[in-house]
C-alpha cells in the first residue's frame, strides 16, 4: 500500500487547519520533559550506586511513569469500540423551503465533518464483526456551530422511552457476575429482557438480520432513527427522518465468516475503513430526507414519535439531498476518535427536536456522560470537538480550561465589557420551535405506541428468502446459547409467534421449545396508508454495480501463469478493486514464464474470510502445489461456502475438483452457479467481464442450498 499522505489535501480543510496548531510533529525535535527541559538519557533511572535503589528526585522517571499511569480515560458506556474519519458534506441544492440551516441551504459550502462508526455492546478492544447495531455518528462543523447527527445503521430502536435505556444496555452487556460474553447478545440476560419487553420485537428482527454483520462501514446505511424537525426562515416546521445511503450499496457478511474474522482480524472494519481512505477510495454516502408534514404524525398507523417504527420508503420517498465524503484518516486515535464527544443536543438554527421520549432522554444523556468521560465541563475545547466558528459566552473555569478569558465582564448584561458578547439577532440565532403543548403530568405510554408487531412482520416479510433464512438461523444461534428454557420459551411464544408462524416454529424446534400451536392472527392494519412489504428494507435490492475497493486474493505457487494473473489483475484494478497475491511464503514465487512475483500475504498470515473473492490463475505446477496445501484448499472451500465469487482460469480450474467444490455444489452443477467463473481456455476478456459481474453481485446466496430439515 502507498505510504500515508502527510496531511490532507482534502476538503475538510477548515477543520484540518483548525487542528493544525495542536499537532505535534516529532521531526527534527529533541526529547524534553513536559516542562520543556531537554533530556539526554531516558533508558536508566537515577540510582544510588550502579546497583542501588532508584532516587525520588528523578523527576524525569517520575513524570514518565505518572503520565503512563494516567493514560486511560473511561471508555464509552456503550459504543466503546469505534473508528472514525474526517471528510466533508455538501448539499446538492438549497433546502431553504424546509430549513434555514446554512449547511443545508448553501450548495457552495463544503462543511467539514468527523464521522465515528462503532459497535454498541463490546468494550474498546472487542472484535469489529460481532453481531450488533453499528453507530454512525456525524459531527458537522458548520458556520453556525456544530450539528451532531448521532445515528445507527438500523432505523429503529429496542425501546420507546429513554428511561428504559439503562435496562436494555445492562441486559445486553456482558453479564454482571462473570462479565461474559464480550461483544455479543447471545446470552440469557439479553433474551430475558426481550421476552419480557415486546416493544423490542421490531429491532430484534433487524439485529438478527444481516444488517447487524455489515461487510464494511462503507457499505451500511445510517439513520437518525428519531423524527426530527426542519424549520425554515419563516418558522414553518416539517417532520424529518434522516438517512445515509452508501454509494457502494448495503452489504453484509455471512455469520460463520463474521465469527472467523473476529479471530483472524478483530480490526477488520477499522482496517477496511483506514485502508480504503489511504488507497484513495474515500467512502461516500448520500444524505437522504423523508419529509413529512406535521399533520401526518399519525397517518401511517403508528406514531411518528415512536422510535420503534420506520416510515416505509414506498410511502414517503427518501430524497437524496447531499453527499458525505470521508477522505482523511485521523492523525491520532486518542486525540480524535476517542475524545470526540457527540451530543444529540448539538443542533443548529433550522433543525429542532420532537417529543419522541427516546430522543428526549438522549438530549440529557450525551452531555452528561461526557462530563465524566472527558473529565469536566470543558470538553468542547478539545480540538476535535471545537466548532470552526467563534465561541463567546460567560462560561468559565472548571477542569482543563484552555481559554484564557480577558476582561472583567463575565456576566450578562454588562456595561464593563461594552455589553459583549451581544445577543444574536433572533433571525439568525437559535430559537426553539414554538410547539403548542397541553396535557396532564403522567407517567404513562400513549396508546399510539402500542403496536409492537406489525412492523416486525413488515421487515421479515420484506426480506428475500436467503435473508429470511439468515435471520432464522441467527435466532436459532442466539437463543440456542441461552441456558434457561423459560427464556427461550418466552421469546418464541411472546415475541416471535406474534411476528410469523414459520419463523416461530423453526426457531422453537431448533432451541427445544414446544412450537406455538397456531400463529396468532395478525392485527388488521390501523391505517390504509400502509404497505404489506417494503422492498427498500431488503439488502437484495441494493446497488450491485461496482467492485470498487473490493479485495480479491490471487492464489499462486511456483509455476503460475503470470500472463493470466496480469490480465485479470489489470481488469479488476481498472474497475477499482484491490488484488493481493497470496502465496506459500513471502519469498518470490516463480511464474511459468520465468518472471517473479512477491506475495503480499501467505496462507498462514491471511485467510479467505478477509477477501471478497478468490482468483486462481493457470499454470499446471502451481495448481498442483496449491492442491496439496491444506490452507490453500481451505481458502477456496471457505470462499465457496461463504457464497463469494471464485474465478479459475487456465489450469486453475483443476483446483475446483481438488477443493471438492463440485461435490459441495448445491446447484448440482457449478456451471449454473454465476458466482463460479471458470475458463480453462484462457479467453480472458469474457472471463474478466463475468468475474467482475460476479464480484459486484456480492454473494451468490443460492449456493447455500435448502435449509436443514
Ligand atoms: Fe446513544 N449513547 N443512547 N443511541 N449513542 C451514547 O454517549 C443513549 C441511542 C449512539 O461515536 C453515549 O458519548 C441513551 C439511539 C451512538 O461517540 C450515551 C439512549 C441511537 C453513540 C448514550 C440512546 C444512539 C452513542 C455513550 C436512549 C441511534 C456513539 C457514550 C434514550 C439514533 C457516539 C457517549 C460516538 C453513545 C446514551 C439510544 C446512537 C451514554 C440514553 C436510539 C452512535 O450518552
Q: How confident is the model at residue 682 (pLDDT cuts 50, 70, 90)?
A: low
What is the greatest pairwise CA distance in the chain? 89
Whether the per-residue pLDDT at 708 is higher than 70: the answer is: no
In contact, 261 and 553? CB cutoff 8 Å: no
Ligand 1, atom nearest to 370 Cα: 13
d(CA 317, CA 326): 25
Cβ–ligand 1 distance for 82 under 6 Å, the answer: yes
Residues 6+ apart with CB under 8 A from 101: 95, 142, 144, 147, 230, 348, 349, 350, 351
Grouping H, G, I as helix, E, B as strand and the rest as coil, residue 139 is: strand
Closest residue by CA, ligand 1 atom 30: 76
Ligand 1, atom nearest to 165 Cα: 27
Q: What is the dihedral of CA 316, 320, 325, 330, to 10 degrees?
A: -30
Cβ–ligand 1 distance for 222 under 6 Å, the answer: no
In contact, 218 and 285? CB cutoff 8 Å: no
Cβ–ligand 1 distance for 150 under 6 Å, the answer: yes
**Ligand 1 pocket test: which of 73, 74, 75, 76 has the largest number of ligand atoms within 8 Å of its C-beta?**
76
In contact, 350 and 234? CB cutoff 8 Å: no
Ligand 1, atom nearest to 360 Cα: 31
Whether the per-residue pLDDT at 2 is higher than 60: the answer is: no
d(CA 96, CA 191): 46
List, for residues 615-646, the tens digit of each pLDDT value.
Answer: 999 999 999 999 999 999 999 999 999 999 99
Closest residue by CA, ligand 1 atom 27: 162
- The H or E element that residue 274 is part of is helix 268-278
Q: What domains can you pick out in the chain, each with its CATH number?
A: 47-385 (2.40.180.10), 454-541 (1.20.1370.20), 551-703 (3.40.50.880)
Distance between Cα 688 and ligand 1 center (Å) = 45
d(CA 138, CA 84): 10
All cell numbers assigned to 522:
395478525
Distance between Cα 78 and ligand 1 center (Å) = 7
Grouping H, G, I as helix, E, B as strand and the rest as coil, residue 652 is: helix
d(CA 111, CA 87): 8
Cβ–ligand 1 distance for 553 under 6 Å, the answer: no
All cell numbers assigned to 106:
448553501
In contact, 553 and 611? CB cutoff 8 Å: yes
pLDDT of residue 541: 96
Grouping H, G, I as helix, E, B as strand and the rest as coil, residue 597 is: strand
In contact, 220 and 477? CB cutoff 8 Å: no
- Phi, psi (degrees; rounded to nearest 5) at 379: -65, -20
Q: Which residue has the higher pLDDT, 661 or 361?
A: 361
CA angle 106, 112, 118 (to 5 degrees): 125
Start-to-end C-alpha separation, the chain: 47
> For 149-153, 375-379, 524-528, 658-662, which range has the lowest pLDDT when averaged over its residues?
524-528
Distance between Cα 675 and ligand 1 center (Å) = 40
All cell numbers assigned to 535:
422492498
Distance between Cα 661 and ligand 1 center (Å) = 45
List, for residues 92-120, the tens digit of each pLDDT value.
Answer: 999 999 999 999 999 999 999 999 999 99
pLDDT of residue 10: 47
Ligand 1, atom nearest to 78 Cα: 26
Ligand 1, atom nearest to 162 Cα: 31
All cell numbers assigned to 230:
426542519
d(CA 2, CA 40): 35
Ligand 1, atom nearest to 366 Cα: 44
d(CA 167, CA 155): 20
- Cis, peptide link before residue 421, omega less than 30° from 0: yes
Cβ–ligand 1 distance for 647 under 6 Å, the answer: no
Average pLDDT over the chain, rounded to an integer: 95
Strand stretches in 98-193, DSSP E: 111-119, 134-142, 145-152
Cβ–ligand 1 distance for 241 under 6 Å, the answer: no
Predicted structure pTM score? 0.96
Q: Measuring CA to CA, how many Å separate 68 from each of 72, 553, 598?
A: 9, 41, 41
Catalytic residue positions? 79, 152
**Ligand 1 pocket test: which of 123, 149, 150 has the largest number of ligand atoms within 8 Å of its C-beta?**
150
Percent of residues, the chain, with pLDDT higher than 90: 91
* Strand arrangement of the beta sheet that strand 613-616 belongs to: 601-602, 578-583, 551-555, 613-616, 645-649, 676-679
Grouping H, G, I as helix, E, B as strand and the rest as coil, residue 616 is: strand
Distance between Cα 115 and ligand 1 center (Å) = 14
Whether the per-residue pLDDT at 521 is higher than 70: the answer is: no
pLDDT of residue 512: 97
- The H or E element that residue 590 is part of is strand 589-590
- On the CB side of 498, CA atoms within 13 Å amount to 21
d(CA 573, CA 560): 20
pLDDT of residue 595: 98
CA angle 201, 206, 210 (to 5 degrees): 150
Whether the per-residue pLDDT at 8 is higher than 60: the answer is: no
Cβ–ligand 1 distance for 162 under 6 Å, the answer: yes
d(CA 656, CA 675): 13
Cβ–ligand 1 distance for 581 under 6 Å, the answer: no
Q: How many helices (H) and strands (E) does the chain have?
A: 18, 18
In contact, 147 and 101? CB cutoff 8 Å: yes
Q: Please choose, from the candidates 598, 591, 548, 601, the residue with its C-alpha nearest in 3D space to the C-alpha of residue 572.
A: 548
Q: Please choose, from the candidates 536, 502, 100, 520, the residue with its C-alpha nearest in 3D space to the C-alpha of residue 316.
A: 536
List, for residues 283-331, the tens digit of each pLDDT value.
Answer: 999 999 999 999 999 999 999 999 999 999 999 999 999 999 999 999 9
Length of the chain: 709
Closest residue by CA, ligand 1 atom 44: 366
Amino acid at each position: 500500500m502507498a505510504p500515508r499522505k502527510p496531511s490532507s489535501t482534502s476538503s475538510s480543510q477548515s477543520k484540518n487547519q483548525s487542528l493544525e496548531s495542536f499537532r505535534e510533529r516529532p521531526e527534527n525535535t529533541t526529547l524534553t520533559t513536559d516542562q520543556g527541559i531537554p533530556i539526554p538519557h531516558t533508558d536508566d533511572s537515577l540510582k544510588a550506586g550502579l546497583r542501588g535503589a532508584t532516587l525520588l528526585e528523578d523527576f524525569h522517571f517520575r513524570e514518565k511513569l505518572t503520565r503512563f499511569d494516567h493514560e486511560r480515560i473511561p471508555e464509552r458506556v456503550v459504543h466503546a469500540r469505534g473508528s472514525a474519519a474526517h471528510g466533508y458534506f455538501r448539499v446538492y441544492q438549497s433546502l431553504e423551503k424546509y430549513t434555514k440551516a446554512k449547511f443545508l441551504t448553501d450548495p457552495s459550502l463544503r462543511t467539514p465533518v468527523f464521522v465515528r462508526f462503532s459497535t454498541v455492546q463490546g468494550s474498546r478492544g472487542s472484535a469489529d464483526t460481532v453481531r450488533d447495531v453499528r453507530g454512525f455518528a456525524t459531527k458537522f462543523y458548520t458556520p453556525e456551530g456544530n450539528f451532531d447527527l448521532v445515528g445507527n445503521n438500523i432505523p429503529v430502536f429496542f425501546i420507546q422511552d429513554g428511561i428504559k435505556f439503562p435496562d436494555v444496555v445492562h441486559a445486553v452487556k456482558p453479564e454482571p457476575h462473570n462479565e461474559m460474553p464480550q461483544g455479543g447478545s447471545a446470552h440469557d440476560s439479553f433474551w430475558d429482557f426481550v421476552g419480557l419487553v415486546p416493544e423490542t420485537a421490531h429491532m430484534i428482527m433487524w439485529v438478527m438480520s444481516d444488517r447487524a454483520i455489515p461487510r464494511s462501514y462503507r457499505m451500511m446505511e445510517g439513520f437518525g432513527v428519531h423524527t426530527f424537525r426542519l424549520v425554515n426562515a419563516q418558522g414553518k416546521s416539517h417532520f424529518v427522518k434522516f438517512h445515509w445511503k452508501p454509494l457502494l450499496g448495503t452489504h453484509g457478511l455471512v455469520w460463520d465468516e463474521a465469527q472467523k474474522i473476529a479471530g483472524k482480524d478483530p480490526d477488520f472494519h477499522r482496517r477496511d475503513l483506514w485502508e480504503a481512505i489511504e488507497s484513495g477510495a474515500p467512502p461516500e454516502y448520500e444524505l437522504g430526507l423523508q419529509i413529512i408534514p406535521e399533520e401526518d404524525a399519525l397517518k401511517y398507523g403508528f406514531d411518528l414519535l415512536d422510535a420503534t417504527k420506520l416510515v416505509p420508503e414506498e410511502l414517503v420517498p427518501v430524497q437524496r439531498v447531499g453527499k458525505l465524503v470521508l477522505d482523511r484518516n485521523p492523525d491520532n486515535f486518542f486525540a480524535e476518535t476517542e475524545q470526540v464527544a457527540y451530543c444529540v443536543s448539538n443542533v443548529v438554527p433550522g433543525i429542532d427536536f420532537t417529543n419522541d421520549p427516546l430522543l428526549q432522554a438522549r438530549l440529557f444523556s450525551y452531555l452528561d456522560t461526557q462530563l465524566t468521560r472527558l473529565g469536566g465541563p470543558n470538553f468542547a475545547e478539545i480540538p476535535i470537538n471545537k466548532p470552526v466558528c467563534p465561541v463567546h459566552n460567560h462560561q468559565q473555569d472548571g477542569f482543563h480550561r484552555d481559554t484564557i478569558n480577558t476582561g472583567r465582564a463575565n456576566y450578562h448584561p454588562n456595561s464593563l465589557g461594552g455589553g459583549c458578547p451581544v445577543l444574536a439577532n433572533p433571525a439568525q440565532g437559535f430559537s426553539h420551535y414554538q410547539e403548542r403543548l397541553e396535557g396532564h403530568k403522567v407517567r404513562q405510554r400513549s396508546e399510539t405506541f402500542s403496536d409492537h408487531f406489525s412492523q416486525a412482520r413488515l421487515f421479515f416479510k420484506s426480506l428475500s428468502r436467503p435473508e429470511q433464512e439468515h435471520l432464522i438461523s441467527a435466532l436459532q444461534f442466539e437463543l440456542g446459547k441461552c441456558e434457561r428454557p423459560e427464556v427461550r420459551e418466552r421469546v418464541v411464544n411472546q415475541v416471535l409467534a406474534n411476528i410469523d408462524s414459520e419463523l416461530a416454529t423453526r426457531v422453537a424446534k431448533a432451541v427445544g421449545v414446544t412450537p406455538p400451536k397456531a400463529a396468532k392472527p395478525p392485527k388488521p392494519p390501523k391505517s390504509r396508508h400502509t404497505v404489506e412489504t417494503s422492498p427498500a428494507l431488503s439488502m437484495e435490492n441494493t446497488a450491485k454495480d461496482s467492485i470498487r475497493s473490493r479485495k480479491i486474493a490471487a492464489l499462486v505457487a511456483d509455476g503460475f501463469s503470470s500472463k493470466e494473473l496480469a490480465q485479470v489483475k489489470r481488469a479488476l484494478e481498472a474497475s477499482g478493486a484491490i488484488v493481493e497475491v497470496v502465496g506459500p511464503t513471502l519469498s518470490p514465487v516463480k511464474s511459468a514464464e520465468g518472471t517473479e512475483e512477491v506475495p503480499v500475504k501467505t496462507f498462514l498470515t491471511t485467510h479467505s474470510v478477509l477477501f471478497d473473492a478468490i482468483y486462481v490463475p493457470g499454470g499446471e505446477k502451481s495448481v498442483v502445489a496449491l492442491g496439496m496445501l491444506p490452507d490453500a484448499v481451505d481458502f477456496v472451500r471457505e470462499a465457496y461456502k461463504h457464497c463469494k465469487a471464485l474465478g479459475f482460469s487456465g489450469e486453475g480450474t483443476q483446483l475446483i475438483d481438488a477443493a471438492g467444490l463440485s461435490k459441495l455444489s448445491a446447484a448440482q452443477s457449478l456451471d449454473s452457479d454465476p458466482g463460479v467463473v471458470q475458463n480453462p481456455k484462457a479467453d480472458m476478456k469474457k472471463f474478466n467481464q463475468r468475474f467482475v459481474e460476479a464480484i459486484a453481485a456480492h454473494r451468490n446466496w443460492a449456493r447455500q442450498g435448502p435449509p436443514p430439515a
